[in-house]
Amino acid sequence: MKHNFGAGPGILPHEVLKQAAAAVVDFNGTGLSLLEISHRSSEFEAVLDEAVKLVKELLNVPEGYSVLFLQGGASMQFAMAPYNLLPDGGKAAYLESGVWANKALKEAKYFGEVQIVATSKESNFTYIAKDFEIPADAAYFHITSNNTIYGTQLHQFFPSPVPVVCDMSSDIFSRKINVADFGLIYAGAQKNMGPAGVTLVIIKDDILGKTGRKIPSMFNYQTQIEGGSMYNTPPVFAIYVSMLTLNWLKAKGGVEAMEQENIAKAKVLYEEIDRNPIFKAVAVPEDRSNMNVCFVAENPEHEKPFLKLCDEKGIVGIKGHRSVGGFRASIYNAMPITSIYVLIDTMREFAEKNK
């Protein structure tokens, strides 16, 4: 058995994979593969409708918001958000909390002024800056809720005088949020929702149409809303698997139940890291992520032999990002706590062998 701690594309529920595999051969008894049915067919329209319905239900999306399934990943949203929200000559505020936040603010500079309200770059993003003011004259305030590379997470969101735009790619559906606190939420699916290839967008309708610029159709949220996520051919397979995953999440008790599971998983793993003399955590305790647990070896010479032991135990995807080094255990929704204990046992075995 493999224990997949990969940062993304991340682990998916086994039952979802089985359903998806069957649909690739014969989708719902149609005699056609899911990969070859028309996206305009009633069968797929039902899938898309169900996926949108589940997003609204699981996140309690209020009236006045649209739910979209788009392509291009979160990286497309780095540009699409300012294209649609930042007027020429206007200003957007960004919190720089890691690589992905930095990439997002670089894209925004093509459309207007960008004010970095705070950064933790000087510490290699081991914490999330909190002592700052959000400018009231900004078109929006952009944040990244969870930082996969550095293992930090916003556990509370900032009150803002302007619309909040949030990249939730790596912790969407992992905990309760109040959608009404945000103007725009976007998330690549490949951590907690589905496979790579589709991006979830939840947008407040009344923040659109205020830039004064003409926007090409594919990059215009309003066009995508009017097209019901089908202005062009949508990523049929990725949306279907996302729908299956959201149904799985609902059956488990929804976001509230998943949040408690995720807190418990992270707690036992961080406790072992703090207890074990071989390892130490990267992020400051108050900002530690419940999705991506980053840690290093006290002695760098222990890194390769520990990775070798992990491989022997069926633990995969544990190597840390090159920006941080060490190890990264990504413990997304589908990761069972039993796999966490396999990792903990492996850490203890390694410590015993290297006293």
From first CA to last CA, the distance across the chain in angstroms is: 29
Closest CA to 176 of 257, 102, 117: 257
Q: b/e for 104-122, b at 16 or more Cβ within 10 A?
A: bbebbeebbebeebbbbee
Active-site residue, 100 included: yes
Active-site residue, 191 included: yes
Q: Are strands 184-188 and 279-281 parallel, antiparallel or unpaired?
A: unpaired
> Which residue in 26, 56, 100, 280 is the catalytic one?
100
The CA-atom distances, in angstroms, between 80 and each of 84, 115, 217, 336 are 6, 18, 11, 35
> Which residue in 91, 130, 137, 167 is the catalytic one?
167
CA distance 164 to 158: 9
CA distance 61 to 14: 28
The answer to whether the Cα torsion of 347, 349, 353, 355 is positive or negative is positive
**Residue 87: what residue type?**
P
* DSSP single-letter state for residue 174: S
Tokens of 175: 């905990």
| Phi/psi of residue 294, nearest 5 degrees | -105, 130
Q: Are strands 146-147 and 315-316 parallel, antiparallel or unpaired?
A: unpaired
Active-site residue, 88 included: no
CB 278 within 8 A of CB 297: yes
> Which residue in 191, 204, 265, 313 is the catalytic one?
191
CA distance 265 to 333: 10
Strand partners, 70: 199
CB 189 within 8 A of CB 171: no
Helices marked H in the chain: 14-25, 42-59, 73-85, 99-108, 221-226, 236-251, 254-275, 303-312, 337-353
Active site (catalytic) residues: 100, 167, 191
